Amino acid sequence: MKGQPLSPRLLRDPVHFFALGFGAGLSPKAPGTLGTLVGVASYAALEPLSLAWQLAVIQVGFALGIWLCGESAKRLGVHDHGGIVWDEIVGYWIAMLGAPAGAGWMLAGFALFRFFDIVKPWPIAWCDRRVHGGFGIMLDDVLAGLMAAGVLQAGVYLVARL
């Protein structure tokens, strides 16, 4: 985890409350995974929306995340503290964009997103090292979400052909 353990008192600040994924980022172990689970839970509200509305929510979440993550990092004094997980939430939403309904697809999206977020293949690792600030914090998870979405959609295509 990048940075020191965080105090629950931080959640009193709305910036940290959202950036730390409503408290999921306070976990001393696997805060990114717990943040992604918040993404899974919140995706349940997005799933019934049209693709256009899902895109709109993701765009707002991304734009808000640039500011939230950047401001939280600045206040914490650590560029991309492991507890900042708003980026994982939005990244998971991106992974699920256009996915079929159902728990199996949500689980597959979770696994794929976590894989790409942890392994960080090119260009994710490149962006993670070179792009800074709130935009940089968000960008690597957006890319992980896009890669996960691509693999998930390939799976959807293959399953439909069976």
The tens digit of pLDDT for each residue in 118-140 reads: 999 999 999 999 999 999 999 99
Examine the pLDDT at 162 and tell me if it is beyond 90: no
What pLDDT, in 10s, does the model give residues 90-116?
A: 999 999 999 999 999 999 999 999 999
Structure tokens at 49: 């929306």
Average model confidence (pLDDT) across the chain:
95
Examine the pLDDT at 3 and tell me if it is beyond 80: no
* CA separation, residue 114 to residues 16, 53, 117 (Å): 22, 24, 5
Backbone torsions φ then ψ of 77, nearest 5 degrees: 75, 20
**Amino acid occupying residue 18:** F
Question: What is the distance between the alpha carbons of residues 30 and 24, in angstroms, rounded to a whole number?
Answer: 9
pLDDT for res 65:
98
Structure tokens at 148: 């996960």
